[in-house]
Chain A
Amino acid sequence: MSDTHSASPDGEHRGLFVPREAKIIHTSRPTASEKHFTLQLASGEPLKFTPGQILEVGVMGYGEVPIGIASSPTREASFDIVVRTVGRVTTAINEREVGDSLWIRGPLGHGFELEALRGNDVLIVAGGIGLCPTRSLVEYILDRREEFGRFTLFYGARDPLQLLFTEDRVAWRGSADVDYFETVDRADATWSGNVGVITTLFHKTTSITPDTRVVICGPPIMFEFVLRELDVLGVARENIYVDLERRMKCGVGKCGHCQINDKYCCIDGPVFTFAEIHELEEAI
C-alpha cells in the first residue's frame, strides 16, 4: 500500500496553518485599549501585500485573530498593525513588547483594487479602528501621489481619546497631498475641531463627485449612513469599496465563520465593492 504515500505535499502547501515569526521592533499605545506594533519578519524578507489585506496574528498557546495591515507595502522595511484589546487573544498580543515575537499568517484576502483607484479621485471614510486597515491605502497613495487624482480623507472617532495615529494626523493636516477632515461624536475640553457623526464631514468639501472612488471602513452602523450620503452625491455602487469585519478564524475560506450569505469575508473580501454585496441580505 506504499503508493498511498505518493502525494507528499511540498513545504508551502503543508503550511496553510503554520504561522511565520515576526519580531516586534517598536510599539506605542495610541489609546488606552489599542497598541500599535511595528514588525519585521524573523526571516528578514519584506512582507509582500496589497493595502486592505489582512494577517492572522497570534501568540502560540493563546490563538490568533485577523488584523488588517496598517502600513503601506511601499514601506518595505517593516509593517504595522494596530490591535485593540477586546478578548483573550488580543490581550495576549498586547502584552508582547519590543524583542518579543508575534506569529503571523498571510497576507490573506482580497485587498483594495489599486488599478481601479489609480488615476481617479479617491475618498476614504474611516470610522474608529477602521482607520487602521485604510491607513495602508492612505500611505500608499501618499507615497505614489502622482498616480492618483484628488485625495480626501474623512476620519471619525467616538471621542478625542479614541483618535489614532496622532503623528500621521498632524502630518495629514499640514499636507497639500491630502484633504484631511476629522470629527468626533462627542467632544471634550481639549477638542476644538468638528463635532458630529462622520457624515457631517461631507458638507466640508466639494471635491466628491459621482466619479470619485470611495473606500469605507468602520463600525457596521456607519456604513448605512455614509452610503446614504454617497447615494445623494450620485457615486456609483461599483465605485464604492467597503472593508468589512467578520469573525474570521482560518483566514483561508474554510472555517465558515466569516460568511456573508455565500461570500467568505476572508478570501472574497475583506474589501468588496458595494455593487458586489448590496444585494446580500447579511452584509450591512
Chain B
Amino acid sequence: MRTLFLGAREFAPFVDLLIGSTRVIGPVAKRQKFVFAELESSGDLRLDYDVTILPPKKVFFPPVQPLVCFDAASVRDCIDPVPTVLLGVHPYDVKGIDMTDLLFRERHADWNYLGQREATTIVASGVQSVAPRAFWASIGTEIAPVGHDAFLTAIDGGYVFEPRTPKGVALARHGAFREATPEEIAAAERANAEAAERCSRALPYTSAEIAERVRAAFRDEAMWDALALDCFSCGSCNTVCPTCYCFDVRDTWNLDQTSGTRSRYWDACLTREFASVTMAGGEKENFREHHQSRFRHRFMRKAAYLNEKLGGPACTGCGRCAAACTADIADPVRVITTIMEATA
C-alpha cells in the first residue's frame, strides 16, 4: 500500500468530510486533559494530546454496556454496531486494543465487543506530546501494534498517511491525498522515533525477565505489604487501564417495570469484593481478602499471567494508572523496578 501525504491545509476538510459521512471519534480537550469523544467538527480534534483519561477501548467496551434486552415476550441481544472511524489512536493504545481484541475473541467470541470493533476503522497517530508518566517506548517492545487501518504522522507542512488495510486505503478517498515523497516518509519516521526518545521513564528489562521475576515474587508478602500500604482499593488503576476488561453483570428494569436490560459494568479487581462469593447464611468468602493480595493480582495479570497468550506483558506503558493513583503507588515502572532490584 502506498504511503500518502495530505497538506496541512487539506487536513481539516478531510476530517470534516469524514464527519459528514460517518461517526468520527477522536481525542478532544476536556479542560486541561483529553478524552476520546465524537467529533462535531475538525476543530475539536486534538492530535497533539498526550494521553486521554480513558483509553479508546470504551468505544467497543463502554463503561456500561447492554448485553441482553428483555420484555415480557422476548429476550434478545442488544448488539447494535454503529459504523465509526476512530481517529488519532496512539500506538500504545492500538496495542491495548489488540489485546482486548484477542481476549474478547478467544474461546467464546464476544460479539457485544466484536460487533462494534468490526464496524470501526482505526486511524492510529504518532505521539506528538509525551505524557509525564508514559513509558511505552520501553515495555513490551516485542509486540508491534497491529489493529489499525492507517497510521497518521504530523510533519512540517502536513501529514504522512500510511494505509495498512483496504479500509485505510478507502478512507483516503475523503481527502486530497497525494503520494508521499521519500523525504516526507523519512520525516515521519524521524518524528515518531523522537517521540519515543522523549519517553523519560523506562523499564530496562526484557518482558521475559519481568514476567519471571514478578511471578517468582508472589510469596514475598512483606514486599507486597510495603508496596500496597497506601492502596485505597479504589480500582482507579484498573478503570483507566487499556488492557483491563473485567466486568460485573447486573439487571435493571425500565420505567415501565416490565422490560429491562442486563448490562455489564466495568469492574476492578482492586476493589474489595471483586473476588468475594456469598455463601450459605449470607456469609462471604473473599478469595482475595486483603488489599495486598489484590494489588499483587493486578501486577501478576499485567506482567506475568497473560504473557503467553499475548506474546508480552498486558501493559502498554501508557502511564494512566500511575497518573490516576492518588496515593501514587500504582506506577508499574516503580513497582516492577522495586521487584527487579529486590530480587537482583
Q: Tell me the A residues contacting B by CB distance below 8 Å.
A: 1-7, 9, 13-19, 21, 33, 58, 60-64, 84, 86-87, 103, 128-129, 219-220, 245-247, 249-250, 252-257, 259-262, 267, 281-282
Contact = CB atoms under 8 A, between A and B. Distances in A.
Interface stretch (B70-78, B135-143, B201-209, B325-333): B70-78
A257 B108 contact: no
B249 A61 contact: no
> Chain B at the A interface: mostly helix, strand, loop or mixed?
mixed
B22 interface: yes
A58 to B, nearest CB: 8
> Chain A at the B interface: mostly helix, strand, loop or mixed?
loop
A13 B275 contact: no
Given A252-B108, A267-B107, A9 B115 contact: yes
Given A9-B111, A16-B108, A247 B118 contact: no
Contacts of A129: 280
Contacts of A14: 77, 79, 111, 115
A245 B286 CA distance: 12
A239 B136 CA distance: 45
B77 A246 contact: no
Interface in B106-123: 106-112, 114-115, 118-121
Given A4-B118, A86-B282, A63 B83 contact: no
A21 B293 CA distance: 39
A254 B108 contact: yes
B111 A220 contact: no
A3 B110 CA distance: 21
Contacts of A255: 246-249, 264, 267
A32 to B, nearest CB: 11
Contacts of B170: 1, 3
Contacts of B115: 9, 14
A60 B285 CA distance: 26
Interface string B17-52: 000011000000000000000000000000000000
Contacts of B297: 259
A58 B83 CA distance: 33
